[in-house]
Each structure stands twice: as C-alpha cells, then as structure tokens.
Amino acid sequence: MRPLRVLLLLVALLASSPIRAEILIVTSSRSGPIELTRDQAEKLYLGRSSTFSDGTPASLVDLPNGQVRDEFYLKLTGKNPAQIQAYWSRLVFTGRALPPKEARSLAEARQWLTDTPNLIGYLDRNEPTTGMRILLRLP
Amino acid sequence: MRSIAAHRLHLGLVASLLLTNAHASDVPSPFSLSGFGTVGAVRTDKDNRMFRSSTEQVSGAGTDFDSSVDSVLGVQASLILSNALDLTVQSVVRKGVADSYSPQLTWGFLRFQAMPEIVVRAGRMRTPFFMYSDSLNLNYATPWVRPPVEVYSLNPFADLNGVDALYRAPIGATDLELHVYGGQSSLDIRNGGGKLQAVRGVKAALSISSLTLQAGYARSNLSIHWGDPMFTSLNNHLIASGNDAIARDLSGDDSKGTFLSAGFQYDSDRLLMIGEYARRTVDRYTVSAAGWYFTAGYRFNSLTPYMTVARQTQTAPVTTKQSGIAPIDSLLSLFNAMRNKSQDSMAIGARWDVTRNVAIKTQLERIHPGPGGLGIFVNDNFRDVVDPGGPVHVFSISADFVF
C-alpha cells in the first residue's frame, strides 16, 4: 500500500510539474485572422518586432513571475530568467520597446486573453482555452 | 435648475470615470511604471586619489567606503496613446555634475511606429555615441559594477534633445538595427558650460544568435566655456601677454567633434565576452582620446565571475602651442594635464543573480593613472596631475535592481 501511494504521489507530481508541460501561445477568438510562426513569436517576445506578419500591431501579455513564465522564455528564446530580465530591462529603459503587460494573476491574464483582440499570451497546456484560439504550441 | 443640471453632468462624469476604471481591469492598462537602481559602495587604497564613476563628479571615494559614486535610482513611466504612438518619461537621481543630486530628465519622448520596421522618436533622449551610452545608469543589464570609465568618460554629454529613427529588419537569421539621430546637447560645468550642436550620427547593430556587432559614428559642433579659477587666471595671462591665439584653443564656440565606436557582445548560455573601442576627436577646447576594454566572463548558474582589461590614451592635448613665457607655459601644461584622463586598468569581479530582479556585484580594480594625468581620479592638490604615481586599487560592491 505504502509504496503504491508513494508511486502515485510521484506520478501526480510529475504530471502536474509544468517543467515538462507543453506551453500554448494563444489569442482571443475575437482577434483578426492572426497567424504566428515560432520565429515571429520569438521576435515579438524579444522586442525585435511589434507587429504580426500582416502589419497588425501586436500586444503581449506576461504571466506573473513563476515557473510557466520561466519555462516559456527558456523554450522560446533560450534565455534563463536572469538573462531575460536583463535583456528586457535594457530594451525598456532605453525606450526601444514597451514590455509585455504583466498580469497580476493567471485569472487576469486569462480574462485579458479572452476579451482583448490582437493580444497574445501563453498558458500551460492544461489550462482551459475557452474563448481563445491556439496560435502555436511549444513542446 | 442650471446648477442641478451641472451637478448631474458632474455626477455623470464621475460615474463614467468610475466605470471606465472598473472596466480597466478587464483589459491591460495603457499606463506602466517601472524603475531601476543601484546601491553601491567604493573605496580605494589611497586618500590622495579619489575615485569617480564619471568626470562630472567633483569628489570621489578615498580609503573610506563611499556610497555616492555608484548609487543611482531611476523611475520610468510610459503611456500608450494609440496603436502607433506612446509617451515615455524617465527621471534619474545620482551624483552628477558638480556633485549635484537634482533629479535629471534622462528620457522624455514621443515614440511613433511609422511603419512595422521603423520607429521615430522625438524629445529628450540619450546620446547613443558608444555601445552602452544609452543605458549608462542601468547597471543591472551588464556584468560590471559600472561601465568601463576608460571608454565611457570619453563623452560627458549624456542628453540628446532631438529626433531619431530606428530601423529594424531581419536579414535571414541576422537581425539588423540601424539608428540615425540628430539634435543638440548641453552640459553644465562649474561656472561654465559645454554644448554639442548640430549633432548627427548613425549606429548599426547586427545580431547573429549570441553575437552582436555594433559600430557608430557621430559629428557635431562643440562649444566649451571653462569657468574654474585656474582657467580664468591662465586665460587672463594669455590675453594680457598678447597670446590670444592660444586662448582661442582653450575655450570658445568654434570646434568640431567626432565620436566613433566599434564593439561586440557575445552572450551564450555560459560564456560572455564584451569588447569595445571608442574614440573622441576634437579640434580644440579639450583633449582627443581613444579608449577600449575587453571583458570575459563565465556563468556558473547564478554566479558570473569576469575579468576586464581597459585603457584610455590621449591622442592630442588641448593645445600644443606655447607662449615662450615660462610661468604661462607651466600653467598651460597643467591645464592640458588636468584634461588628460589616460589610464589603464585590470579588474576581476563577479555578478551574482540573487533573485530575478536583483544582482549583487563585487569588483576589484588595479588602475594605473596616466601617463600625463590622473585618469578618472581627483585630488585636492591639483598639481599632482603631472605626477600621477603608482597604481591605485579600487574595491566596489553593489546591488542592482529593477522593478
């Protein structure tokens, strides 16, 4: 009984661990016909571009500091939390780009991503995406 | 009746404002506030060599820990006005010109996204002459305690009032950024002032995965009016002895200046390398000089030890003319030496990323001032400038943060 419970606990931990989870890049289903390649997503989240491929201005959402956010940047840009913080602070404090809007909670991020057109953000694969469209999957 | 209507209108306005506010949590706010700063302490091993982080500071750190040299606080606010237009204002407090702590407007511009690849900005910006010139106060973004003074003291003019355009385009796997700018810059000096007018410059940066290459060139008209007692005395002597031609080399409104820089940054998972060469050339009023540095670091998780070598060399003094009158020429050579910031240095240090917004850094430098001047150091006995002596050790510790 006891080893089984330990095993179940381990499986549950691994399954819920965001480290391994796929991350989804999403937008509101009210957005226009946006398409997004991985390369474009990387450019947007590195402040190297501020529009979608058709020229529509893009706005970005960041989740509050935490594992999903760190995992997202590592997967998309290859930069760890300290590197991405240093990179973005240089862009912001030299007036090159406005940073992604940081939501105060996951719930707020979900609300924005459901309601606001042409806003993109990222969520853990296990999050419901009602009212949103999945643009890209980061395995 | 009228007043009731006005009252209703007022209530309606308040209600609609409240509603707008309540609605604002459903969409991201167009307003953002952020900031950065450094709390730092520095000491040296010689009380007659006071270390400064910029040539504008009048006093520096001696053998007691001094927190005024590197400490800085910056606050920035941005407002999105439309899809294509936003406003940014940044103010910084730190010990600057003549040791004043008055808050400086470091950025204050309107940014217009003219085309997907082109951004145009107008207002108060930073002179982007060298690689890190537009982020000199933002120590959090670099491995060092402060940007190497051998290069960054070559331009004391930090503000640019004018316009610029940034063009950003991918060329295959490389990312190109072209930056053109123009404007004017002023600098207060004790009882005097400096001015760059008709500044026009261009900067290009190429990023290829972990490597960024950067080069810049700028020209401008330069005015400097010195106002210190030593200059005033020298100037009076020159004019009284009929040496107006020499006086016209020391101070006035008729010089040109050029600023040139080439550098690279290599920032992979582990290895970090930064190098830059920069040069200031002027016709008169101050010295022409060149500087360079090279930094190599290695990341062990959150700890990044690094080493830096750097040098500044004078390429031309303020004036090479002589009056033939011994006491005047002696003052003249002193005047030249006081503006000579030549020095070379070696440093070891480490950056520790404590949490995601805070980095603690420490650095030990061995700086050789001279030849021909005291480098970045100051001393009460200004005649020391002709006899800089041996190396000075500078120890710094700081905490950088962003919020």
Mean pLDDT in residue range B179-189:
95
Residue A17 confidence (pLDDT): 47
Nearby residues of B51 by Cβ (< 8 Å), 6 or more positions away: B42, B44, B60, B61, B62, B69, B367, B376, B377, B392, B394
Pick from B357, B392, B403, B400: nearest CA to B145: B400
Residue B87 confidence (pLDDT): 97
pLDDT at B69 over 60: yes
Q: Tell me which residues of chain A have a C-beta less than 8 Å from any C-beta of chain B.
A: 43, 48-51, 55, 57, 59, 61, 65, 78, 81-83, 85-87, 89-90, 92-96, 98-99, 101, 103, 108, 111-112, 115-116, 119
- In the structure, what pLDDT confidence band is assigned to residue B190 with cuts at 50, 70 and 90? confident
Per-residue model confidence as pLDDT tens digits over B368-397: 999 999 999 999 887 888 889 999 999 999
Looking at residue B63, its amino acid is T
pLDDT at A102 over 80: yes
- Please tell me the pTM assigned to this model: 0.88
Mean pLDDT computed over every residue of chain A: 87
pLDDT at B340 over 50: yes
Per-residue model confidence as pLDDT tens digits over A32-62: 888 999 999 999 999 988 888 888 889 999 9
Residue B357 confidence (pLDDT): 93
Supply the ipTM of this predicted assembly: 0.88
Residue B13 confidence (pLDDT): 41
More confident residue, A48 or A63: A63
Mean pLDDT in residue range A76-85:
91
Mean pLDDT in residue range B119-138:
97
Helix (H) or strand (E) holding A62, with range, is strand A59-62
Q: Could you give the CA distance from residue B81 to residue A25 in angstroms, rounded to a whole number? A: 26
Provide the greatest CA pair distance for chain B.
91
Residue B383 confidence (pLDDT): 80
Residue A53 confidence (pLDDT): 86
Looking at residue B383, its amino acid is R
Half-sphere exposure of B29 (CA within 13 A, CB side): 14
What is the set of domains in chain B, with CATH numbers? 2-402 (2.40.160.10)
Residues of B in contact with A57 (CB under 8 A): 83-84, 113
Mean pLDDT computed over every residue of chain B: 92
Residues of B in contact with A58 (CB under 8 A): none
Mean pLDDT in residue range A19-26:
84
What is the set of domains in chain A, with CATH numbers? 21-138 (3.40.190.10)
pLDDT at B249 over 60: yes
Strand partners, B149: none
Per-residue model confidence as pLDDT tens digits over B278-305: 999 999 999 999 999 999 999 999 999 9
Residue B108 confidence (pLDDT): 98
Q: How many interchain CB pairs under 8 A, A with B?
A: 84
Residue A3 confidence (pLDDT): 57
pLDDT at B140 over 60: yes
Cβ distance of A82 and B90 shorter than 8 Å: no
- Token readout for A51 is 């529009």
